Amino acid sequence: MRMKKTCLFILMLLSGGMVDRAFAGWPIGKYRNVVIPSFNFYQSHDTWNASGQKIKGQPGAGFTSYAMGLYVGYGLTRKLDLLVNVIAPNQNSAFVDSKGVLNKDSSTGVGDMQVGVSYNLFNFGYKSFLSIGGSAIIPLYDTTKAVALGYGTYGAEFKVMYAGGIDNGFLKHTYYNLEAGYRRYFDTQGPNVLLLTASLGVPLGKRNQVGFEVSGQYSNSSNKSFNPNLAVNRDFGFAKGSIDLGHTFTRRFSVFVVGFYSLAGYNTGVGYGGSVQTIFKL
C-alpha cells in the first residue's frame, strides 16, 4: 500500500512541470490509468540573440501561446507503460519589419502528438527507479498556417529517467526525478535536440506539495536563422526554472499550478508562463 501511495505522489509531482514532458521515471502500475488535462501559457517580449545577449523587444512585438494539453498514461504491465501526449495551441506572433511596421499573425490547431512507451529497467528497493522511454513525434497539422504550429515533420525521442524518494536527513520525504533525452526530427535541417531535467518535490502535509525544477534544451541545426515565431526556430538553447504547487483533493484527483521563467539562452525568447493541470488516476 505504501508503494502505491508513493507512486501516485511521484506521478503527480512529476506531472507538475509542463505537459510537453512525455515521460517520468516512475512506473504507473499494471492496468492503471493516468489522465492529465492542462491549460498552458507562454509569453515572450524580449529575446536572446545568437551570442546569448538579451535584446529588448520593440513595443507591441512578441510571441504568445495558449494551449490545451492532454496526457494519457496506461500501465500495460508493472514495468511497461503506454504514453500519449498531445497539445492544441493558439499561437500569436508579432514583429516589427524593416519599414517599422508591426506585423501580427495567429494560428490555432492541434500540434504535435507524442506516442511512446516507458520501461522500468531496475528498481532499488521500490524506493527509486531507473527507466528508459521512447516515443514517436507525429505532426497533426499542415505548414500553411500564418503562424506555424511546429516543424511539420516526424520525429523520435529517447529518454533515460531516474526517480525516487529520500527517506532520511533534512530532505526526508522529498522526491526527485532526473532525465536526459535526445530528440531527432527527420528533416534535412533537423534539428537534433538534447533534453535535460532535474526535479525536486517536497510534501507540505498530507495533501499539499511544492516542487522545483531546472531544465534545458540544446537544439542544433544547419538552419541558424531566427524566426519571431519561436515554435519553428531550429538552432537554439535555453535553461529555465519552475516552481509548482499541488493539492490532492482525493486519492484519484489532484490539481497543480505551475510557473516558470527562462534563465538563460541563445537564439530564443526570454519566456515566462505557467500551467494549470488536473490529474485523474483512474
**Comparing C-alpha atoms, which of 193, 192, 196 is closest to residue 180?**
196
- Tell me what the mean pLDDT of segment 173-183 comes to: 93
Of 70-74, 121-125, 212-216, which gets the smallest average pLDDT? 121-125
| Mean predicted lDDT score pLDDT of the chain | 88
Dihedral of the alpha carbons of 254, 246, 177, 24, in degrees to the nearest 10:
30
Q: What is the pLDDT of residues 186-201, one digit of tens each?
A: 999 999 999 999 999 9
Q: Is pLDDT at 16 greater than 80 in this prediction?
A: no
Dihedral of the alpha carbons of 233, 199, 82, 167, in degrees to the nearest 10:
170
The pLDDT-based confidence of 24 (bands split at 50, 70, 90) is low
Beta strand 268-281 with 112-124 is unpaired
The pLDDT-based confidence of 143 (bands split at 50, 70, 90) is confident
Rounded Cα distance between 150 and 160, Å, is 25
79-83, 143-147, 229-233 — most confident range: 79-83
pLDDT value at residue 97: 83
pLDDT value at residue 12: 36
Q: Which residue has the higher pLDDT, 126 or 114?
A: 114
* Contacts with 276 (C-beta within 8 Å, 6 or more apart), sequence order: 38, 39, 255, 256, 257, 258
Of 14-23, 26-35, 87-96, 270-279, which gets the smallest average pLDDT? 14-23
pLDDT value at residue 127: 85
Q: What is the pLDDT of residues 200-256, one digit of tens each?
A: 999 998 899 999 999 999 999 999 988 887 888 899 999 999 999 999 999 999 999
Query: How many CA within 13 A on the CB side of residue 255?
Result: 4
The pLDDT-based confidence of 263 (bands split at 50, 70, 90) is very high
The pLDDT-based confidence of 11 (bands split at 50, 70, 90) is very low
Map residue 7 onto helix, strand or coil. Answer: helix
Which domains are delineated in the chain?
2-281 (2.40.160.40)
Rounded Cα distance between 228 and 105, Å, is 11
- Tell me what the mean pLDDT of segment 52-63 comes to: 91
Does the bond joining 89 to the residue before it have cis omega, within 30 degrees of 0? Answer: no
**Comparing C-alpha atoms, which of 94, 40, 19, 106 is closest to residue 269?**
94
Cβ 254 vs Cβ 8: under 8 Å: no
**Comparing C-alpha atoms, which of 148, 228, 181 is closest to residue 24?**
181
